[in-house]
Amino acid sequence: MKSYRYLIIFCLFALLSASSAMAQCIISGTVRNRKTGSRISSVNVMLQSSNRRAMYGYVITGDDGSYRLEYKGNADSLAVIVSGFNIREKVRLITAHSQQVDFAVEENELKIREVVVKAPAVVRKNDTLSYTVAKYADVTDHSIGDVLQKMPGMEVLESGEVKYNGKSINKFYIEDLDMLEGRYGLATKNIRARDIARVEVYENHQPIKALRGLSSTDAAALNLRLKDSSKGTWSGTLQLGGGYKPWMWNIEAAAMYFGRKFQMMNTYKTNNTGDDVASELDSFYGATDPMTNLLGIQTPSQPPLNERRYLDNNIHTVALNSIVKLRKELTLTANAHYIHDFRTALGHSTTTYYRPGDPLIIPEQIFARNRSDRTEFSLRLNSNSTSHYLYEKLIFSGAWDADFGRVLNNNDQVDQRFHRPNISLHNLFTDIRHWGRWMLQLNSNTDYATQNSSLRIRPMLYPEIFDTPDGFSDARQGLDARRFHTLNTANASYTTGTLTSGHWTFSLNAGLNLQIERMNSDLAPMNDAGETASTEDKFRNDIRWRKLDLMLGPNIRYAYKEQFSISLNLPLDLINLHTDDDITHQKATTRDLLVQPSLFLEGRIGYNLKYSAHAFYGESIGELYDSYSGCIMTNYRMISSKRGDLSRNRQQNYSASLSYGNALSALFGSLDAMWWQSRRNLMYGTTYEGSLSRIEAIHRPNTTDGYILNATLSKRIDPLATTVNLSGGFSQSWQQVLREDVVLPTSYYVASAGFGFKTHFTKAVRLDYKASYSRSQSRIKGQGSLNAIDCLSQTADLSLIIRKRFICRLGGEHYYNNAIGGADRNMFFLDAALTYKSKRTEYSVEATNLIDTHTFNSSSQSDITHYIHTYTLRPAAVLFKIKFNLK
């Protein structure tokens, strides 16, 4: 693997050399009338490549006829073009250096009968791309998320998450306000496409203005620009739906207001049609660190299908969101939501564990019923100016889970009941202030969480693990956990030079991290009355765990204008860890000094090509749930114990990325590569007693490493009203698996490719097509390879548009898996819909699963384990919906 490191280092030096060769020049001048000599305002002045195929800049002359253009690149020559409504175009070729270029132009008298002004589909201004929504939208689109999928460089996942050039965005704004705080699936799925004028992408976006030019990022942000008619007014939708089979409902209501100083967005949704509207409330900014949950029932593995095909649900969601601008840079945001979700699932699985000797095969018929109630409320105060940044956010969240499962395992019936209430309170605080060249940053992240979970198994299939008295045929696993955590850091930095030229930034970071946890667990036999019998200490845990980190380290960063930056971070972490086990009466204190250096660089070559690279080395020690000694039954056929040993991990990873975005040619692409390695002192081995799996930690140094390559390409062909997307990837990993006390060196690879397009043959015909292929395989050194698994999925949607009011849609899906035998190797689905649109009302009839496919079969691999799953699907159904636009 050393060759990959050398290749990455070579690429970084090549990119650095290329960026250093870039030039910056200022082209300025005036535009005058050749005959009168007077200066002319409102004239278009463009800066392009000498062959006029690439656009580098665009301005309009001021009232005094002057203009100013800035160029950053390595071209030898440039073209300056002057044009206007009644100005004869004039082109001048110049060398690429700062100079004054004046123009004397001639005016044309034009007689115009009709003028049609066509806005470009996408334009670039420095690091901002602006997509004109009208160029991509049509009558079949409902939400802005439907339109985003047609824009080159954009990707919208089923959950509503948005990616630009293969990377998740770091912010989602509506008129430059972040009201939804990461839960922007509400916006992509509910804001009407017809209300949005433009979609803006801010490349290399640093959301904290006080850190711009001082802290680097390679992520992009997205901003929605509303039409003037949609600003400062209430809008909303109401949808009523009903159907059969089974009896179904689908009701949605949304109300929203987007003003200059106030925004609000509220939704209520309920259905039993398989539409998982709770996914709209997922946070894509990175959720708070949840408590570890070890327990749960065995559930059917979800198939690689759209959830509407298999999800048997009864869901209600309420979301309330608002933001108010108290003054220019100060906002107050309130967000609240509640989810009630009830689901049932039925499936069959066959799991094959490869081990020394004969493989272990476990067949299971699984039924699961899950009920979940979740709520969250947050209040945020945010001031974001170039000199001062303040962020204060308080979050309360609660979750109550109650699950029931039934498994048929080799003619044994096992019932599982799981309960878990979880409550947490979380506070986030950041304050950044500038004093001349000095900057001080304070951060605090504090939370308290508690959860008390229990899992009851009836009957216990392995009573021999207990010395069980008569009448105690069940088992109960209880686990009570509490956690307090606070991370507080301070950063002082000093900057030399100016942000418009090369400058250095020197920083010193200090921090204190305190984490206090307590975990009690008890695995015991239980009788029909719910009474438990006493058990040995090896089935109990009572651990108090306290970790104190003192962190200190410098950071050095160099940046040259907006073309290149490199930063080196050298943190040290002094850890004091104390563990008190009241069951074994053992106390342990560990002190260690850990290092976590990292190097990050980014830059650009011209306006369209950007690159970044990252190198990281880190040392860490295990958490509480990596080191408990008593046995815990995590599900009906798995018991784990970590023997109280402390795990240690040393990891390193190196990554490089190229991103290309040409607005003039509407061509976007990305290339990403990463290599990683992890060295651990412990292995988690599995032994099997029938279908019971025992997992224990064993002292044995081991290494895991691998690499990932990914590429994307997206092109908009405007004359054909078509967006084409291509993707490909390859990943491979090597690790050691411990089974039945034997170490098995294994490897696993996945190769993937994707192709798709969205096109309009005519204004009356639209076709969307998407295909993805993957090939995966596991290998055991010295024992050969498992059979490779080839998977292919295809989806196609054809829409016929009649007089912009009637839409007839026909959709089909095809899935292929070579590891499935018989006719189920190829599976097909067929849907149809008919929609009628009036000015404010939409009527639709949707028919799904017209072939009435009852089950879906899939096959997959994970390390050296093979899975075959069969999942029961929703039957053929018809749903009628009426949707009212309230504006």
Residue 15's pLDDT band (cuts 50, 70, 90): very low
Out of 214-223, 391-400, 505-514, 611-620, pick the least confident.
214-223
In whole numbers, what is the pLDDT of the chain averaged over residues?
89
**Confidence check: pLDDT of 337 > 90:** yes
The average pLDDT across 542-552 equals 95
Q: How far apart are CA 213 and CA 209, in angstroms?
A: 9
Give pLDDT, residue 718: 87
- Pick from 329, 343, 270, 220: nearest CA to 670: 220
**Confidence check: pLDDT of 227 > 70:** yes
Q: How far apart are CA 38 and CA 97, in angstroms?
A: 27
Q: What residues pair up with 476 in beta bridges, in sequence order?
A: 456, 524
Asked if 409 contacts 450 with a C-beta cutoff of 8 angstroms, the reply is: no
Q: How far apart are CA 345 and CA 400, in angstroms?
A: 19
Give pLDDT, residue 119: 60
User: Number of C-alpha atoms within 13 angstroms, CB side, residue 409?
Assistant: 20
Q: How far apart are CA 124 and CA 866, in angstroms?
A: 49
565-594 confidence digits (pLDDT tens): 999 999 999 999 999 999 988 899 999 999
Q: Which residue has the higher pLDDT, 848 or 118?
A: 848
**Confidence check: pLDDT of 498 > 80:** no
Residue 671's pLDDT band (cuts 50, 70, 90): very high
Q: Which residue has the higher pLDDT, 887 or 856?
A: 856
Reading phi first (left if > 0) and then psi (alpha if -120 to 50, else beta), residue 863 is in left
- Pick from 811, 806, 812, 813: nearest CA to 834: 806
**CA 332 → CA 207, 224, 324, distances in Å?**
17, 20, 5
The average pLDDT across 407-433 equals 93
Give pLDDT, residue 819: 92
Query: What is the token pair recorded at 100?
Result: 């004054």
631-669 confidence digits (pLDDT tens): 999 999 999 988 767 889 999 999 999 999 988 889 999
Give pLDDT, residue 464: 76
**Confidence check: pLDDT of 98 > 70:** yes
- Pick from 152, 133, 154, 135: nearest CA to 144: 133
Give pLDDT, residue 12: 41
Give pLDDT, residue 257: 96
745-788 confidence digits (pLDDT tens): 999 999 999 999 999 878 899 999 999 999 999 999 888 888 99
Please give the model's pTM, rounded to 2 decimal places.
0.84
Give pLDDT, residue 864: 85
Q: Which residue has the higher pLDDT, 51 or 327?
A: 327
Percent of the chain with pLDDT over 90: 63
Q: How far apart are CA 687 and CA 695, in angstroms?
A: 7
The average pLDDT across 332-353 equals 96
Give the other-Cβ count within 10 Å of 703's Cβ.
12
The average pLDDT across 216-230 equals 90
Give pLDDT, residue 154: 92
Asked if 581 contacts 587 with a C-beta cutoff of 8 angstroms, the reply is: yes
Out of 41-50, 498-507, 573-582, pick the least confident.
498-507
Q: Which residues contact 309 (CB under 8 A, 6 or more apart)?
A: 274, 303, 829, 848, 849, 856, 873, 874
814-860 confidence digits (pLDDT tens): 999 999 988 889 999 999 999 999 988 999 999 999 999 999 999 99
Asked if 96 contacts 54 with a C-beta cutoff of 8 angstroms, the reply is: no
Give pLDDT, residue 2: 44
Give pLDDT, residue 845: 97
Q: What residues pair up with 262 in beta bridges, in sequence order?
A: 324
Give pLDDT, residue 109: 57
Residue 318's pLDDT band (cuts 50, 70, 90): very high
- Pick from 19, 31, 186: nearest CA to 602: 19
Give pLDDT, residue 3: 43
Give pLDDT, residue 111: 52
What is the phi/psi pair of residue 249, to 5°? -140, 155
Q: Which residue has the tokens 């509303």?
A: 226
Q: How far apart are CA 818 and CA 816, in angstroms?
A: 7
**CA 548 → CA 20, 319, 488, distances in Å?**
44, 38, 12
Q: How far apart are CA 645 and CA 698, in angstroms?
A: 9
Give pLDDT, residue 21: 41
**Confidence check: pLDDT of 72 > 80:** no
Q: Which residue has the higher pLDDT, 822 or 320?
A: 320
